[in-house]
């Protein structure tokens, strides 16, 4: 089955690839990777007092969400959204588990309500005043591709543009040995019905049942910069977007389910 959607806006943020322009230039070889890592983006949507104490998940997700809407020229509050993260807030999970093991009665109420998988989506909706539905999903190794399918499905079903945001952060403490992820990585797309789009790039997404998934590997100079983040499987998709030519690639949706992507 094939879903066809337009891409109105793209954004990307990693510690060594801060912004889609930089990421694209590194992917295409126009510029070498920046020497130093950038500091985490500031979630300017939030009140100044909340910006500093915002979790990394919220900071990176809100950054890429806002940049994708800007690139699309869309008002954020008009867009339903899909937030996808492999592991959610690994730093808060580490905090919750270690506090519960030692002083459970001292759990911070703010950390607790920030521990929900939909915290970034919640802060985004509060910051933008958006009443449009959001969802927050996870699918382990297949998170980026499953989120892309959900975003495209919403576009096709509801015939309205949808914001898709994916992110993963650095694991902390003992949990890092089980849910490994380094650095911050976020990426977002504004997807829209093809009929409404004006000269935008478009995607054809086709699911395929296969004996064993062989996703397209990342090939560019950007790959080693994000390879140890849990969201790294998204990179081949952005490598294809970085090219001005039509490209095809395959993402894994499961052990035996592929998502064939044609970027036009």
Partner 1 sequence: MQTRPLRITAYTLCSAAGDGRAATLAALRERRTGLTRNDFGASPISTWIGRVAGLETQPLPAEFANWDCRNNRLAWRGLTTDRFIDAARAARDRYGAHRVAVVMGTSTSSIGASEEAYARLDADGRYPADLRRPIIHTPHSLGDFVQYALGLTGLSVTVATACSSSAKVFAQAERLIRTGLADAAVVGGVDSLCGSVLFGFNSLELVSPEPCRPFDVERRGINLGEAAGFALLEKQAPRGEWLLGYGESNDAHHMSTPHPEGVGARLALSDALARAGLQPADIDYINLHGTASQKNDEVEAKLVADLFPATTCASSTKGWTGHTLGAAGIVEAAISLIALEHQLLPGTLNLRVPDLACGPQIQRDNVQREASHALSFSFGFGGSNCVLVFGRDR
List of residues 6+ apart from 123 with CB closer than 8 A? 43, 45, 46, 54, 58, 62
Instruction: Kindly write out the interface string for residues 159-178 of this chain, putting x where it contacts partner 1 by CB under 8 A and - elsewhere.
Output: x--------------xx-xx
On whether the CB atoms of residues 45 and 62 are closer than 8 A, the answer is: yes
User: What whole-number distance in Å separates Cα of residue 81 and Cα of residue 263?
Assistant: 21
> What phi and psi, each to the nearest 5 degrees, are found at residue 72?
-85, -15
Ordered DSSP codes for 253-264: EETTEEEEEEE-
Least CB distance to partner 1 at residue 131 (A): 6
User: What whole-number distance in Å separates Cα of residue 255 and Cα of residue 243?
Assistant: 28
Q: What distances in angstroms separate CA 115 from CA 62, 111, 118, 238, one per listed residue?
A: 16, 6, 8, 29
On whether the CB atoms of residues 143 and 136 are closer than 8 A, the answer is: no
Least CB distance to partner 1 at residue 52 (A): 17
Q: Between residues 36 and 131, which has the closer beta carbon with respect to partner 1?
A: 131
Least CB distance to partner 1 at residue 105 (A): 7
Of 103-132, binders to partner 1 (CB under 8 A) are 104-105, 107-109, 112-119, 121-123, 125-126, 128-132
Q: Between residues 207 and 260, which has the closer beta carbon with respect to partner 1?
A: 207
Of 240-259, binders to partner 1 (CB under 8 A) are 253-257
Q: Between residues 3 and 222, which has the closer beta carbon with respect to partner 1?
A: 3
Least CB distance to partner 1 at residue 130 (A): 6
Residue 234: both structure tokens together: 């998204």
Query: What is the contact surface with partner 1 in residues (CB under 8 A)?
Result: 1, 3, 77, 86-88, 93, 96-98, 100-101, 104-105, 107-109, 112-119, 121-123, 125-126, 128-140, 142-143, 146, 149-150, 153-154, 156-157, 159, 174-175, 177-179, 207, 209, 253-257
């Amino acid at each position: 089955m094939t879903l066809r959607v337009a891409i109105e806006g793209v954004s990307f943020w990693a510690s060594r690839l801060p912004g889609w322009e930089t990421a694209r230039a590194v992917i295409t070889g126009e510029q070498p990777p920046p020497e130093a890592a950038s500091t985490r983006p500031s979630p300017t949507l939030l009140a100044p007092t909340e910006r500093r104490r915002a979790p990394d998940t919220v900071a990176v997700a809100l950054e890429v969400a806002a940049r994708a809407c800007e690139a699309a020229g869309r008002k954020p509050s008009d867009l339903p959204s899909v937030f996808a993260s492999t592991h959610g807030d690994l730093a808060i999970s580490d905090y919750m588990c270690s506090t519960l093991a030692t002083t459970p009665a001292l759990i911070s109420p703010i950390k607790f309500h920030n521990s929900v998988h939909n915290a970034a989506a919640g802060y985004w909706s509060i910051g933008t005043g958006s009443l449009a539905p959001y969802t927050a999903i996870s699918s382990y190794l297949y998170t980026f591709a499953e989120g892309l399918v959900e975003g495209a499905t919403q576009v096709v079903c509801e015939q309205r543009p949808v914001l898709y945001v994916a992110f993963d952060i650095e694991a902390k403490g003992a949990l890092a040995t089980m849910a490994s992820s380094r650095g911050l990585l976020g990426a977002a797309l504004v997807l829209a019905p093809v009929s409404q789009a004006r000269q935008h790039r478009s995607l054809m997404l086709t699911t395929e049942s296969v004996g064993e998934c062989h996703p397209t590997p990342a090939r560019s100079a950007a790959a080693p910069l994000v390879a140890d983040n849990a969201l790294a499987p998204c990179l081949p998709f952005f490598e294809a977007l970085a090219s001005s030519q039509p490209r095809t690639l395959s993402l894994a949706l499961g052990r035996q389910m592929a998502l064939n992507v044609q970027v036009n």
